[in-house]
Amino acid sequence: MNLIACSHNPIVPLATVAHVDLDRFMGDWFVVATNPTLFEKDLFNPVEHYARNA
């Protein structure tokens, strides 16, 4: 088992995209998973709102 943990796998660079349509991601999004902060600990079905800066 220890030999498997010590094996070396080369790091493959991540591919990037040429363009991202940010407007597609604007609006309300339901939070599926989170590590709640002190202010978020009692929230139920939280929603995040994303908007572009004017």
Could you tell me the pLDDT band of residue 8, with boundaries at 50, 70 and 90?
A: confident
The CA distances from residue 12 to 9, 15, 20, in Å, are 9, 9, 22
User: Quick one: average pLDDT of 8-31?
Assistant: 93
pLDDT at position 44: 87
C-beta separation of 35 from 20 below 8 A: no
* 19 has a pLDDT exceeding 90: yes
Nearest of 47, 18, 43, 16 to residue 30 by alpha carbon: 47
pLDDT at position 34: 85
Q: Quick check: is 41 in a domain?
A: yes
Q: Quick check: is 47 in a domain?
A: yes
Q: Quick check: is 48 in a domain?
A: yes
C-beta separation of 29 from 50 below 8 A: yes
C-beta separation of 51 from 23 below 8 A: no
Domain that holds residue 30: 19-54
Which amino acid belongs to residue 42? D
Q: Quick check: is 12 in a domain?
A: no
Q: Quick check: is 2 in a domain?
A: no
In tens, the pLDDT along 23-51 reads 999 999 999 988 888 988 888 888 999 99
Indicate the number of domains in the chain: 1
Q: Quick check: is 8 in a domain?
A: no
